[in-house]
Amino acid sequence: MQRVDVFPTHEHQEYKLRPGKPFPFGATLAPGGVNFSVYSSHATSCSLVLFEKGAPEPKAEIPFPDEFRIGNVYSMIVFDLDIEAIEYGFRLDGPWDPQEGHRFDKSKILMDPYAKAIGGRDVWGQPPDWDNVYQHRARLVYDDFDWDDDRPLEIPLEDLVIYEMHVRSFTKHESSGVRFPGVFAGIREKIPYLKELGVNCIELLPIYEFDEFEHSREDPKTGRQLVGNYWGYSTLGFFAPKAGYAATGKLGMQVDEFKALVKELHRNGIEVFLDVVFNHTAEGNEHGPYISLKGIDNKTYYMLTPEGYYFNFSGTGNTLNCNNPVVRNMVLDCLRYWASEYHIDGFRFDLASILGRDPWGAPLSNPPLLESLAFDPVLAKCKLIAEAWDAGGLYQVGSFPAYGRWAEWNGKYRDSIRKFLKGDIGMVGEMAQRLQASPDLYATRGATASINFITAHDGFTLNDLVSYNEKHNEANGEDNRDGTNDNDSWNCGWEGPTDDPGINALRMRQMKNAMTMLLISQGVPMILMGDEMGRTQFGNNNTYCHDNELNWQDWALLEQNAELFRYVKTMLAFRHAHHALRNRWHLTGTDTVGSGYADITWHGTQAWNADWSGTSRILAFMLCGKHAHGGQREDNYIYVAMNMHWDSHWFELPGLSEGMQWHAAANTGAPPPEDIWQPGEEPLLENQAGILVGDRSVVVLVGK
Amino acid sequence: MAFDVSTEQAGDIAVITLSGELDANAAGSFRSAVEEAAAAGPKRVVLVMDKLQFMASAGLRVLVFAKQKMGTSVDLFVVGARDAVLETIEMTGFHHSVIMMDEYDASEIENY
């Protein structure tokens, strides 16, 4: 017998209708039709606008009958739609009263905020028809992907090594050698590479649908076209993967292609994190375009000044009103959707401090959105990572409301390591904190609160950090004014590329030093795409606007810098081999297992006697293997000596228990192949009493 | 070229041969063929695609449907997919879910 609830009750022209379900919002496939549901607190009427895919004009407009509105939600089932062939939008009428926060304009066709696929920018860089009345078009998707037995991997956070990457940049360069460059399928082809490197998590710069043409402009000096939104930190729709990031975007199969990537990464033991941008949208301020939220319910979705202008805590024109309950629910719905429908393992929240502001911009002590995310049942096993600051001056590294769940990008880790690396004095005390996952910042939150990074998409690459003293952002067309001046970088004696073998050798050593410090630190390391092979942005520390070799990974570097790549992947293997480096909780500096050694002890050129003075550039520490994971796991002892002074120094070694001896795991001062050894193949140290650590070098030993 | 689909049952093997352009309009008849084949309870299903010129999203949907409709105990073979069709299958990763063959090889299918 046919279900009664699939009978149409209303008609509009040739369309058969029935009152819809208010939840879930958005377009949902229902028996025989599609359920459309949209919320607006101040609209006076709403219509569903239907297009044939790609057609310039709508083929139908179906007003929601009055009786189809429950509360502030318009919902309607439309029967017999061809799911594959249509695009839809909404047209809302309501007051035009900017001072009151209302900007309704019934001449606009608006995208569903819950659109699960969006047409209009199907192929990256293909110029759109700017006269199109509906630029970004909501489409319908099936949730029929065959996941087999896949689900999020749930790798313990302390065991992750995160690789931050941009979908297009990773394989767009012709040297990538992939069949499908610059897209999800291209990343899938590079999975063997990621496994060889040894990362077990990729964090993708935003993949929610965005418009690469937003803010496009010409460089006034060179005439070169600049892509305003190359990185993608300006969202059109929170539920849709970017079509232009799929080789199949032109066929409307981006959902399948991205899911296939996630599934394949999972099969290879690699988690997928998304960099998500909930602090603002692509609609800009009062001069920006109508795309969706602005015309649907401006006052609900955006933080507005008392005069009705847009607060700008994001630095990009508007601020999403995240602690309005309706917006909060949208964010929750969105993340649940990605976790359940796409099997995403974790999220990194761009400018997350904004999510802790109230609708008038004031920081909340107990922000409901952050709390809801932390306690959400669907997101319960997802990793949540905050960029714990915003463009409005809120800086919460160490104080971000964490609810026992949130980890943070540790900006202080980056700054301390960079300064110590280049030989600044007065850093050893801070270094001791950073190497231990910053207990000064995260005392009660454990080691995994600290996402350690030295470089990220925003700023210098590692190669540039050791090759440039100053930013070189002229190519951005703003006379080098954009981008931070606080780089804490050192060019090793010459600004930019050089043939000087001494300088190049020092740069190589400094990159190895940095990678070593990153990978022997407690906490969760994050590597920037390409740093393992010396990727350069030619001194540009703000490449948000370049769709070219400034961003694209040049895979020829893999051969040119084979020495660096070998070092980094072996150091990654070293990290994965040693539980002592990957503690869940902070070390205590005491012996809690009766091994005769504290879990961590500090040393210098003299064993047991670190030089904490203000002029020191030297620090060494030892991890007691019997304390690994609070004593639950047995590991080797690990000793790390860091000499950031320009002279070599003799380091006296702490003695090991009877029967154990020191072996050399890595020495950045030694020429390859003796700079690093495969775990398990470390040669015995001839002199067990001490070791010479070269100038600006790091030595890692294992005691076994 | 118009889409055409035909089905042959040979023992516990169902062979579905596709030709022409598998777009949104054609997907329905492909789906019917899959349902019909599934009803006979085959052990193996072979999709012969060497005369298929194009596959739209709606066509991929039916492939996904076929895989899930048949269940994990039935092997699904995709035979002879060419050029654009093969590329679409590979870009979306569907080739990981099925057994891809260049040419129809009865003994290999039988003994898989």
ipTM: 0.91
Does A689 contact chain B (CB < 8 Å)?
Answer: no
Q: Which of A51-55, A106-110, A223-227 has the lowest mean pLDDT?
A: A223-227
How many angstroms separate the CA of residue B5 from the nearest CA in chain A? 20
Instruction: Note the pLDDT of residue A5.
Output: 66
Closest CB from B24, B65, B67 relative to A85: B24
Q: What gap in Å lies between CA A280 and CA A300, rounded to an integer?
A: 13
Closest CA to A206 of A318, A351, A396: A351
Instruction: Note the pLDDT of residue A2.
Output: 61
Q: Tokens standing for A387? A: 């960029």
Instruction: Note the pLDDT of residue A4.
Output: 62
Does B64 contact chain A (CB < 8 Å)?
Answer: yes
pLDDT digits 0-9 by tens, A422-436: 999 999 999 999 999
Catalytic, out of A112, A158, A256, A350: A350
Instruction: Note the pLDDT of residue A218.
Output: 86
- On the question of pLDDT at A222 being above 90, the answer is no
Does A143 contact chain B (CB < 8 Å)?
Answer: no
Instruction: Note the pLDDT of residue A182.
Output: 98
Instruction: Note the pLDDT of residue A3.
Output: 64
Question: What DSSP element (H or E) covers A667?
Answer: strand A662-667
Structural domains of chain A in order of their starting residue, each with its CATH number: 410-577 (3.20.20.80), 588-703 (2.60.40.1180)
What φ, ψ does residue A358 adopt, rounded to 5°?
Answer: -80, 170
Nearest CA in chain B to A257: B92
Contact A161, A200 (CB under 8 A): yes
Question: What DSSP element (H or E) covers A33?
Answer: strand A33-39
pLDDT digits 0-9 by tens, A230-288: 999 999 999 999 999 999 999 999 999 999 999 999 999 999 999 999 999 999 999 99
- On the question of pLDDT at B1 being above 80, the answer is no
pLDDT digits 0-9 by tens, A629-665: 989 999 999 999 999 999 999 999 999 999 999 999 9
DSSP assignment string, A623-641: E-GGGHHHHTS---EEEEE
How many angstroms separate the CA of residue A203 from the nearest CA in chain B? 20
Contact A602, A587 (CB under 8 A): no
Break chain B into its structural domains and give their ranges.
Answer: 4-111
Closest CB from B27, B56, B91 relative to A247: B91
Instruction: Note the pLDDT of residue B83.
Output: 87
pLDDT digits 0-9 by tens, A482-537: 999 999 999 999 999 999 999 999 999 999 999 999 999 999 999 999 999 999 99
Q: How confident is the model at residue A215 (pLDDT cuts 50, 70, 90)?
A: confident
Closest CA to A382 of A136, A557, A155, A183: A155
How many angstroms separate the CA of residue A429 from the nearest CA in chain B? 50
What is the mean predicted confidence (pLDDT) over A669-683?
Answer: 97
Does B94 contact chain A (CB < 8 Å)?
Answer: yes
Distances (CA, A) of A183 to A142, A248, A424: 21, 9, 41
Q: What gap in Å lies between CA A406 and CA A385, rounded to an integer?
A: 6
Contact A604, A619 (CB under 8 A): yes
Does B54 contact chain A (CB < 8 Å)?
Answer: no
Q: Tokens standing for A96? A: 């035009």
Does A84 contact chain B (CB < 8 Å)?
Answer: yes
| Surface-to-core class of residue A633, CB atoms within 10 Å of its CB (0-12 exposed, 13-18 middle, 19+ buried) | middle
Which of B34, B53, B91 to substitute to test the interface with A, most A CBs within 10 Å? B91
Instruction: Note the pLDDT of residue A314.
Output: 83
Nearest CA in chain B to A181: B91
Does A188 contact chain B (CB < 8 Å)?
Answer: yes
- On the question of pLDDT at A100 being above 90, the answer is yes
Q: What gap in Å lies between CA A649 and CA A623, rounded to an integer?
A: 21
Per-residue 3-state assignment (H helix, E strand, C coil) for A66-115: HHHEECCEEEEEEECCCCCCEEEEEEEECCEEHHHCEECCCCCCECCCCC
Distances (CA, A) of A667 to A189, A580, A632, A697, A701: 33, 19, 29, 7, 9
How many angstroms separate the CA of residue A248 from the nearest CA in chain B? 7
Q: How confident is the model at residue A220 (pLDDT cuts 50, 70, 90)?
A: confident
How many beta-carbon pairs under 8 angstroms link A with B?
A: 62
Q: Which strands sit side by side in the sheet containing A60-63, from one edge to the other? A: A60-63, A45-52, A86-93, A137-139, A117-119
Does B95 contact chain A (CB < 8 Å)?
Answer: no
Nearest CA in chain B to A261: B93
Q: Around A463, how many Cα atoms within 13 Å sit in the side-chain half-sphere?
A: 22
pLDDT digits 0-9 by tens, B16-34: 999 999 998 899 999 999 9
Q: How confident is the model at residue B72 (pLDDT cuts 50, 70, 90)?
A: confident
Q: How confident is the model at residue A1 (pLDDT cuts 50, 70, 90)?
A: low
CB contact under 8 A, A257 and B92: yes
Instruction: Note the pLDDT of residue A139.
Output: 98
Per-residue 3-state assignment (H helix, E strand, C coil) for A126-157: CCCCCCCCCCCEEECCCCCCCCCCCCCCCCCH
Q: How close are the terminal C-alpha atoms of chain A, in Å?
A: 73
- What class is the B4-111 domain? alpha beta
Instruction: Note the pLDDT of residue A437.
Output: 98
Question: What DSSP element (H or E) covers A570?
Answer: helix A562-577
* Residue numbers in B near A82 (CB within 8 A): 24
Instruction: Note the pLDDT of residue A618.
Output: 98
pLDDT digits 0-9 by tens, A351-369: 999 999 988 889 998 999 9
How many angstroms separate the CA of residue A552 from the nearest CA in chain B? 21
Q: Three-state DSSP class for B80?
A: coil
pTM: predicted TM-score of the whole model, two decimal places: 0.96
A371 is catalytic: no
